[in-house]
Amino acid sequence: MAEEKEERSMLYKLKPITSRIPAVTRPEGHVHFRTKMMWLVLILVLYFAMTNIVIYGVNTGEGVDLFAQYRAILAGAQFSLMHLGIGPIVTGSIIMQLFTGAKIIKLNLKEDEDKAVYQGTQKLLVIIMIVVEAVPQVYGFMEPTSRFRDGMEGIWAGNGLALARTLIVVQLFVGSYLVFLMDEVVSKWGIGSGISLFIAAGVAQQIFTGSLNWHPVDNAIPMDPYDNPPAGTLPKTIYLFHHMSAPELSGGGYERIFLAQPNPMVALIGTIVIFLFVAYTESSRIELPLAHGGARGARGRYPIKLIYASNIPVILMAALLANVSMFSMLFWSHPSFRNVPLLGENWMLGYYDADATRPSGGLAYYLSTINGVGDWLLPLLSDSYLSGLGLDKERYQIGIHVMVYVGVMVLGSVLFAKFWIETTNMGPEAVASQIESSGMQIPGFRRDPRVLKRVLERYIPVVTVISGATVGGLAAGADLIGTVGNASGTGVLLAVGIMIQLYDAMGREQMMEMHPVLRGFFGGE
């Protein structure tokens, strides 16, 4: 037994380090609903402020954004303090879940001490991942301005460039760690998850600007119906109808309105369809009847949603694919990574055209996200759209890309859904214990956690797999349809699900405020 305890507790050696990492303390006792809403709004305002604070000293005209395809999902803003977004947090969570799910890390997350070690180790991993993601980008794709570099030369002659890059890394580190602390504030003092809140806020902003932006695509030249229309879907549609004659509309105008970038009408329609479909799936659930063992007539229901694992599996998959994209580009084009054995400049891992942020081939291409019908359906149907992709791909390669991307999203989401359920105490045993401790039971069954566990085992494992496959399939399908504002189908899926879950969470908080006896059942203080 002692040997088993020693093996299980190998991460306890990191406690002297993890216990000193700055973190947000948990509130002592119940936090009132108004206080939680205040923290939620304050953190949201701070998030938008950080997305508009450009990193000091970065040459925004020459830098390359490695996360361009995944901006909406990673809740970041290019070359701002939120440049890395939630990427390091989610990547740290992926590593811990994979290690825990594979039993490499033997921690019992039902025990408070083991759970504290798990969370402390995850914080340490987040810090490591901030450095891992920041350093390669700064030293390869985020050039400092000449003025900033010359200023650093005055401080440290001969090392101005190195000092300038180091200060940019420090700014990225501070911004990313602030994001981590903001997530903790929302989780402990607010409602829901900070990560989810940032994703929903970023996607909503992109959809709003993508639909209603009346500025032209290029502000440096006059607005023109053919070369420089308004960037937003609705202003673009109104402008083209107003400035084109009927023959011009029939000769290509309708195609520009419905299919041509930026923000074609089909993307707006796709966004609305995704919104309605996700809202429907979020409301689908199985409800187990419950009765209070000590209060006659007190009844309730325990909902097991179709989206039981929420949208977290898709967030984890998107972050994983974003990291694949980033490192494949680093290995292909970064001077320091090209010499790595087997991986450096390996076309099978992924290759890129000059100044391109999207892969042109290799594994990274087949795992890259698909942005609407212009990336796959139109090239499959039209030679002009196929050549317009600029990737020199045959139709069968585009078809393989679609199948691989959808398959990876579905299978990966199922895997992460299973890991997520186990690491967040949402499995049959944990839920049975939660129901039993609240005094509730299933009518017709003995009040025994083992009996509850057997009943829940009929539903939760199956629903977990269906949940992961559903959100993965919805995300991939939404990406195939496309959305306005380059929010990506996955981003819209996440935003809609997050807003619905936030609304439900607010309802539970208000219910607990009015009926304190329910706090134990919902996991409140």
The answer to whether residue 425 scores a pLDDT higher than 90 is no
For helices 312-333 and 112-141, angle between their N-to-C axes, nearest 10 degrees:
40
In a domain, 387, yes or no: yes
Residues 144 and 286 placed together within one structural domain of the fold: no
Parallel, antiparallel, or unpaired: how do β-strands 299-305 and 440-441 relate? unpaired
Distance separating alpha carbons of residues 83 and 71, to the nearest angstrom: 9
Distance set, CA 206 to CA 44, 140, 198 (Å): 15, 28, 12
What is the reported pLDDT for 5? 43
In a domain, 230, yes or no: no
The answer to whether residue 238 scores a pLDDT higher than 60 is yes
| DSSP line for 119-151 | HHHHHHHHHHHHHHHHHHHHHHH-PBPHHHHHH
* SS3 at position 305: strand
Residues 333 and 427 placed together within one structural domain of the fold: yes
**1 vs 504, residue with greater confidence:** 504
What is the reported pLDDT for 128? 93
Tell me which range, 61-75, 438-452, 479-493, is most confidently predicted by mean pLDDT: 479-493
Which of 69-78, 163-172, 284-293 has the lowest average pLDDT? 284-293
pLDDT in tens, 116-159: 888 889 899 999 999 988 988 888 778 899 899 889 988 887 78
pLDDT in tens, 164-193: 999 999 999 999 999 999 999 998 998 888
Which of 150-154, 331-335, 398-402 has the lowest average pLDDT? 331-335
The answer to whether residue 102 scores a pLDDT higher than 70 is no
In a domain, 326, yes or no: yes
For helices 312-333 and 87-101, angle between their N-to-C axes, nearest 10 degrees:
110
The answer to whether residue 516 scores a pLDDT higher than 80 is no
What is the reported pLDDT for 524? 53
pTM given for the model = 0.78
Distance separating alpha carbons of residues 168 and 175, to the nearest angstrom: 11
What is the reported pLDDT for 167? 94
| DSSP line for 380-402 | HH-HHHHHHT-S---HHHHHHHH
What is the reported pLDDT for 3? 44
**Helix and strand tally (H, E) in the chain?**
23, 3
- Please state the domain count of the chain: 2
Give ∠ CA 197-198-202 in degrees, rounded to 5.
120
Give Cα 77 distance to the centre of its chain: 13
Percent of the chain with pLDDT over 70: 93
The answer to whether residue 518 scores a pLDDT higher than 60 is no
Mean pLDDT of 258-266: 85
Residue ending a domain, among 190, 205, 240, is: 190
Residues 408 and 313 placed together within one structural domain of the fold: yes
Mean pLDDT of 305-324: 85
The answer to whether residue 424 scores a pLDDT higher than 70 is yes
| Rg (alpha carbons) of the chain, rounded to whole number | 25
What is the reported pLDDT for 399? 93
In a domain, 443, yes or no: yes
Q: Write the Ramachandran bin of 344: left for phi over 0, alpha for psi from -120 to 50, otherwise beta.
A: beta
What is the reported pLDDT for 296? 60
What is the reported pLDDT for 273? 87
In a domain, 245, yes or no: no
In a domain, 458, yes or no: yes
In a domain, 126, yes or no: yes
Which of 260-274, 361-375, 409-423, 429-443 has the lowest average pLDDT? 429-443
What is the reported pLDDT for 54? 92
Q: Which domain holds residue 392?
A: 267-525
CATH number reported for the structural domain that contains residue 347 in this entry? 1.10.3370.10
Structure tokens at 402: 């679609």
In the block, residue with structure tokens 């794709």:
141
Structure tokens at 394: 């045959």
User: pLDDT confidence of 46, banded at 50, 70, 90?
Assistant: very high
Residue ending a domain, among 159, 175, 190, is: 190
What is the reported pLDDT for 417? 92
Residues 183 and 323 placed together within one structural domain of the fold: no
In a domain, 202, yes or no: no
Report which of 186, 163, 164, 166 is spatially closest to residue 174, judged by C-alpha positions. Answer: 166
